[in-house]
Amino acid sequence: MKIVMLGAPGAGKGTQAKMIAETYGIPHVSTGDIFRANIKGGTPLGMEAKTYMDKGALVPDELTVRILLDRVAQDDCKNGYVLDGFPRTIPQAEVLDAELDKLGDKIDYAIDVEVPDENIVKRMGGRRACLSCGATYHIVHIPPKQEGICDKCGSELVLRDDDKEETVMKRLAVYHEQTQPLIDFYTKKGVLKTVDGTVDSTDVFAAIRGILD
């Protein structure tokens, strides 16, 4: 079972990807994690990616796909995997499809966690992070015991720049321009499934299980 997770930043697709991985016993493959692991391990692919990242440039699609295929060729992926954060663009999806096709393989499901932009702005604007220990909260859904103070280490909680309204709006604009076309791409392939991401995460997961089971 090979799954691609789609959805705007803050839609909760990462959370759902982890739940799918745990429930179905398949790896949660995040491109960010793979890059970090390859760079930390000093692999040839990692070092090649690092030359781009050090210059502040985007890693080319072809290299990203090579790193990804190297990861999904490992034994723990033989029963499938759930991709989180890739593909982000049509060219990436096309390269991934072409490479999987060479292996006689394909993506089985593209799951779109659908959340309206206004919900995402509210959701992300309510996030608070502890810069000391990394704990995260939400002023409505997971509030700290004491307002503005981390339960775990007592440090001050902050609204990260990434979660400020103007930043979220910019990220959403990029998402709609680059990633939204993937919905059409996977619809044409006959593998797109859409779930309502505005409900509680357990209800979102129940809808996903209804598709995968």
Task: Compute the distance between CA of residue 15 and CA of residue 42 in angstroms, rounded to an integer.
Answer: 29
Asked whether residue 141 is assigned to any structural domain, the reply reads no
Asked whether residue 120 is domain-assigned, the answer is no
Query: Which domain covers residue 189, as residue numbers?
Result: 2-115+173-212
Number of domains in the chain: 1
Active site residue 209: no
Closest among 123, 113, 117, 100 to 197, alpha carbons compared: 113
**pLDDT at residue 36 is higher than 90:** no
Please indicate, yes or no, if residue 129 is contained in any of the structural domains.
no
- Of the residues 18, 88, 164, 193, which is catalytic? 88
Q: Give yes or no: 88 in active site.
A: yes
Question: Is the pLDDT reported for residue 47 higher than 90?
Answer: yes
Active-site residue, selected from the candidate residues 18, 66, 160, 164? 160
For this structure, is 13 an active site residue? yes
User: What pLDDT is recorded for position 180?
Assistant: 87
Judged by DSSP in three states, 153 sits in coil
Q: How far apart are CA 107 and CA 3, in angstroms?
A: 6
CATH of the domain at 67: 3.40.50.300
* Residue 160 falls in the annotated catalytic set: yes
Global confidence as pTM: 0.82
Question: Which residue is catalytic, options 13, 71, 123, 128?
Answer: 13
| pLDDT at position 93 | 93
Asked if residue 18 is part of any domain, the answer here is: yes
Instruction: Give the Å distances, CA to CA, from 125 to 28, 119, 166, 168.
Output: 27, 10, 10, 8
Q: In what order do the strands lie in the sheet with 109-114?
A: 28-30, 81-84, 2-6, 109-114, 192-196
Which pLDDT value is given to residue 3? 97
* Catalytic residue from among 2, 71, 123, 127: 127
Q: Which one-letter DSSP state was computed for residue 59?
A: P
